[in-house]
Amino acid sequence: MIIEPRMRGFICLTAHPAGCAQNVVNQINYVKAQGPVEGPKRVLVIGASTGFGLSSRITSAFGANAATIGVFFEKAPQEGKTATPGWYNTAAFQDEAEKAGLYAKSINGDAFSDEIKQQTIALIKQDLGQVDLVVYSLASPVRTNPRTGVTHRSVLKPIGATYTNKTVDFHTGVVSEISIEPCNEEDIKNTVAVMGGEDWDMWMDAMMEAGVLAENALTVAYSYIGPVLTEPVYRKGTIGAAKDNLEATAFTISDKLKSLNGRAIVSVNKALVTQASSAIPVIPLYISLLYKIMKEKEIHEGCIEQMYRLFNDRLYNGSTIPTDEKGRIRVDDWEMRTDVQDEVDALWTKATTETLPEIGDLKGYKSDFLSLFGFGVDGVEYGTEVNELVPIKGLQ
């Protein structure tokens, strides 16, 4: 079929297999061009099909020559209906891993469930014995707790007071004011239950118990802080409460890993266009201004640049892992530079529908967004028929 983007709200209902494959190949080429990483040899990535998780998997495999197992939740294609992008990304990743002679297997299912945890552990036991690194990179709006059976839904709301600020509809370029009502106590609990550290802790408990974590095993999860500007809806909002919980969980897990000389750590990453972040009000406007400034200063990074830097300069640089006063790795360091943030603040007050195309990188935002679904990728012939029914090799 000929596949075109079909937008609904902040999601795209279609994905292009060749475009997704090209994105994966581009990330692999980036990693290879940077040179080898003295990294882990057996890696489990939970949330491995898009965004930071996919880039972590690519960096592990093509930077450190690691065997990788990826867990994700994606829709398979059907006759006349495309898969979700993570499906096509993984199909391409598996093909490239096979060509390179790298072990790679994938599991598609709900990572929050006990079944998927046990299936993953059984696969590790069978094929790898143990893993040296567990990357926890889930982003989901909903989680069913396997212990209680309760389904929790996260919300993106401020805590305590209504938050009013500018936002942009990145499809139309219209800048408008948005007011978000504060959450209630239940909203906080639910968001923490979905995006906090409980499930990460459950994964690590299950893996410890099964003996599938190697000596010196590391586990890393991803967080975000961002500027004062977005604090009410991000870091001091419901999602921020979940990130506080995730960051605290790193210490709980580290304690449990002591007998293995292992460690759990959180990396604070840069704001990037992913399916998860485009759903948060205000953030797309912030990102489009941030991109403009970081590109001008030649310090802009995408997921793969961030993950390569995380692995090569922070996690596996041969010495102790550098952290901030709260024990977190900071690869958002360039985003948070004072000169960068001062310029974002100055542009923020000027941002309107009329000025944004000039002062912000709305074009870059849109093209990154389309690219998440495999559209607008250089070198891809969009006018020709492609087979939507792409299988994933190595899918369990």
Task: Fill in the per-residue mask, 86 to 125: x = in contact with ligand NAI (CB under 6 A), - = not in contact.
Answer: x-----------------------xxx-------------
Closest CB to ligand NAI among residues 214, 239: 239
234, 286, 316, 365: which one is catalytic?
A: 234
Closest CB to ligand NAI among residues 139, 356: 139
Q: At what angle do helices 283-296 and 362-372 cross, to 10 degrees?
A: 110
Please state, in angstroms and rounded to a whole number, the distance separating the CA atoms of residues 24 and 58. Answer: 8
Task: Fill in the per-residue mask, 189 to 228: x = in contact with ligand NAI (CB under 6 A), - = not in contact.
Answer: ---------------------------------xxx----
Which residue shows structure tokens 């989901």? 140
With contacts defined by CB under 6 A, name the span among 67-75, 97-105, 151-159, 168-176 that binds ligand NAI: 67-75
Q: Are 120 and 54 in contact (CB under 8 A)?
A: no
Q: Provide the token pair at 369.
A: 């967004």
Backbone angles phi, psi at 266, to 5 degrees: -110, 140
With contacts defined by CB under 6 A, name the span among 132-140, 181-189, 343-351, 383-391 that binds ligand NAI: 132-140
Has 103 been annotated as catalytic? no
Please state, in angstroms and rounded to a whole number, the distance separating the CA atoms of residues 263 and 252. Answer: 10
Closest CB to ligand NAI among residues 30, 222: 222
- Residue 296 identity (one-letter amino acid): E
Neighbours of 264 (CB within 10 A): 25
Closest CB to ligand NAI among residues 262, 302: 302
Number of shown-chain residues binding ligand NAI (CB under 6 A): 29
Among the listed residues 159, 313, 306, the one whose alpha carbon sits nearest the alpha carbon of residue 236? 159
Least distance between ligand NAI and beta carbon 261 (Å): 26
Q: Are 65 and 103 in contact (CB under 8 A)?
A: no
User: Residue 249, interface with ligand NAI (CB under 6 A)?
Assistant: no
User: Residue 275, interface with ligand NAI (CB under 6 A)?
Assistant: yes
| Binding residue (CB under 6 A) for ligand NAI from 21, 67, 139, 207 | 139
- Residue 33 identity (one-letter amino acid): A
With contacts defined by CB under 6 A, name the span among 152-160, 184-192, 251-259, 275-283 that binds ligand NAI: 275-283
Q: What is the CA radius of gyration of the chain?
A: 20
Bridge-partner residues for 136, per DSSP?
46, 221
- Identify each DSSP E strand in 232-370 by its residue range: 263-268, 329-330
User: Residue 288, interface with ligand NAI (CB under 6 A)?
Assistant: no
User: Residue 52, interface with ligand NAI (CB under 6 A)?
Assistant: yes
Closest CB to ligand NAI among residues 116, 159: 116
Total count of residues recorded for the chain: 396
325 CB contacts (<8 Å, ≥6 apart)? Answer: none
Closest CB to ligand NAI among residues 154, 312: 154
What residues act catalytically? 234
* Chain positions contacting ligand NAI, by CB under 6 A: 47-53, 71-74, 86, 110-112, 137-140, 222-224, 269, 271-272, 274-277
